[in-house]
A and B are shown apart, each in its own frame.
Chain A
Amino acid sequence: MPPVINVEKCNACGVCADICPTDVFHVKKKKTMPVIRYPEECWHCNACVLDCKQKALSLRIPLPLMMLHVEAKK
């Protein structure tokens, strides 16, 4: 479920939870790693990925959002 936190890289700074436009993250206690509490409310905007200085975040795009495409005809 999006987003995905790399626990090896996350330093629990809380920036992702603070800036997420849709409040997907939850920090139970300060200086602890956030949890993805509301994954279905992710907008896939990438704000958390862009603002994570540790590069600990990535998005996993859910299957229903698959971008439909074909080979372009010449």
Chain B
Amino acid sequence: MVNLSPNGEPANNRQHRGEVMALRKPGKLNKVKINMIAVDKSPIETDVLVIGGGIAGLMAGIHAARKGVGVLLAEKANTKRSGCGATGNDHFMCYIPKVHGNNLELILAEYYKSQVGGFSDPALATVFLEQSYDRVRDWERWGISMRPHGHWDFSGHAFPGRPRIWLKYAGHNQKAVLTQQAKKQKVKISNHFTVTDIIVRHGEAAGAIALDTTREQPVLRYIHAKSIIIATGCGSRLYPSPTPGWMFNTANCPVCTGSGQAMAYRAGAKLVNMEFPNRHAGPKFFARCGKATWIGLYKDPDSNPVGPFVSVATRELGDITGDIWSDVFTEKFKSGEGPVYIDCSTTSKDDIDYMMWGLVQEGNTGMLDYMAAEGIDVRKHAVEFMQYEPFLVGRGIEIDQHAETHIRGLFAAGDPVGNFRADCAGAATFGWIAGGSAAARAKRAAAFQDIARDPYARKRIRLYSAIMKRTIGPDWKEANLALQQIMNDYAGPHGRSATLLHAGSTYLQNLKKKTTETLKADNAHTLMRGIETLDLMACGEAIFKAAGERKETRAKHVRLDYPFTNPLLTDKFLTIQKKTNGRVQMQWRNRM
């Protein structure tokens, strides 16, 4: 049921559980203009606000709605085709007892060895594995083929002689199916509706500001919510892409820009593990995910395998070298032994067919169409692979086992979480957990809080208005490129040091100040991109500070001035939090 909120009055007296009130097309818009931006002051009221309609957001929305509360899902694009899973996925990490046996610990150990397990709290990883099969069954029931070959097919991302934990599935239709399921559960989906800021009142999540981008000129809206779930995806566009001048050539979704981490950080939530760069690898120069879908051997130009794992690649055991040593492509290049290719020419015909089918399910039809048009045939061509730029995934918001942050009523799931990662499966499972937790919290919460007069809300609206009002100044692209070059040179994966980080942090502060004071946008689209860029700068700030604090070299956090790995910091996580007085606080804690 949808009710309108007349005259922009807060609808505190008209709360009905299970309703989302005052939605996008009210009969009478109560618009006011602060400088040059329209603000619709009639608030939207919802029990649960889900920010982002990717895998985590849709799963969160479905579960919360099933618990009988009103859910508004705000998506900056369209849930049918948004986020990193827009056109598909083909690997879903999970624990299925009748396949893996009853010892979850064995599978947990395998998870830690995988490309996603490095920086997770065991408590969260355990909850994930315990519930992952339930989500597999949900998806299968809803119409995503989780057994496309008639059995539980655990293939790819696997070590020889070890348990295989990545379920091969047919995810080409996953976003459409989950969107349909969300609608069936009466989740109110608002597409082209970008949440820009979370408002915290009296230590609790109280609401958000969002940007309606359906028209040429943006309209800002207030959202009152009892629970908020951040499900905004990963953080691309922080570092330069493989192709200078083509910023959107990213393996992961280029409009997932660390906004969840930035919103949470500004709101006072803790971020964790921000200092660790994460780098993916794939075809050069067409940046794409899905390297484990390829079934071939990584080889040098003399056709020698570069990894030790397999001599013949099969659908069950491809070459996992790229998963656990994505640096191989960079290192072989730098040493003069490169480039490194993926060579599928010795893969069996059946497995090549399986691989091509898998690439469709993974969502790589754009790449396949291109390869067909260019005559690139994996049976006879070796394709060069490269290591891509760092991006944020599994680095960000700290949550507990219920997916709640340190701010009451604020939850997070999926890629923006910093102390757990399992990509698509992790998003599905923790999205579900977040939805249940947020619904329970909304049922307990008191009345809505009015955020229209919140000083922080007004400050942000003044900023967006100023950006729209300016006629001279840099656009978002200038600002984004300026950010990328600072991140690359001073907090890049090639090496960091106290002096470099100090200098880069100073330059970034200057850039952020300059951007805030001069950025201009001329419509809803460019304003959205500008806000994304400011969010990336906030993430960059946290990265600089955390990277300075971790005085050791670990994983891809390379400190040139501390080139050793400090045993005392093993299993130590670093959190960073902006306090209400603006001061940044960093704390070490044990992995839990």
Which A residues lie at the B interface, using CB under 8 A?
A: 18-23, 26, 37-38, 40-47, 49-51, 58-59, 61-62, 64-74
Contacts and interface: CB of A to CB of B under 8 A. Distances in A.
Given A67-B370, A69-B376, A71-B381, 8 more contacts: A20-B78, A23-B528, A43-B253, A50-B365, A62-B246, A65-B246, A65-B285, A68-B285
Interface in B513-550: 525, 528
B366 A19 contact: no
6 contacts: A23-B213, A45-B87, A50-B365, A65-B246, A67-B367, A72-B382
A8 B343 CA distance: 41
B383 A67 contact: yes
A47 B84 CA distance: 12
A67 B365 contact: no
Interface string B39-57: 0000000000000000000
Contact of A40 (B247, B285, B371): B247
A65 B345 contact: no
B286 A22 contact: no
Contacts of B213: 23
Contacts of B303: 72-73
A72 B380 contact: yes
Nearest to A59: B366
B268 interface: no
Contacts of A70: 341, 381-382, 384
Across the A-B interface, the 7 shortest Cβ-Cβ residue pairs: A46-B366, A72-B345, A47-B81, A64-B243, A73-B303, A68-B384, A19-B81
Contacts of A43: 248, 250, 253-255
Contact of A38 (B77, B246, B380, B525): B525
B77 A67 contact: no
Contacts of A68: 283-285, 339, 383-384
B342 to A, nearest CB: 10
A42 to B, nearest CB: 6
Interface in B302-335: 302-303
Contacts of B250: 43
A58 B219 CA distance: 32
Contacts of A19: 77-78, 80-81
Given A47-B81, A69-B382, A23 B254 contact: no
A3 to B, nearest CB: 10
Nearest to B344: A72
B243 A71 contact: no
Interface centre among B86, B191, B345, B382 (most CB of A within 10 A): B86
Nearest to B78: A19
A45 B290 CA distance: 13
A18 B380 CA distance: 39
A37 B525 CA distance: 10
Nearest to A44: B366
B414 to A, nearest CB: 16
Nearest to B381: A69
B82 interface: yes
A67 B525 contact: no
B461 to A, nearest CB: 22
A67 B285 contact: yes
Contacts of A49: 365-366, 369
B441 to A, nearest CB: 30
A23 B525 contact: yes
B258 interface: no
B161 interface: no
B27 interface: no
B182 to A, nearest CB: 16
Given A19-B81, A51-B81, A74-B345, A40 B382 contact: no
Nearest to B176: A51
Contacts of A21: 77-78, 81-83, 86, 253, 255
Contacts of B196: none
B249 interface: yes
A45 B86 contact: yes
A66 B246 CA distance: 12
Nearest to A72: B345
Interface in B263-294: 283-287
Contacts of B254: 22, 41, 43
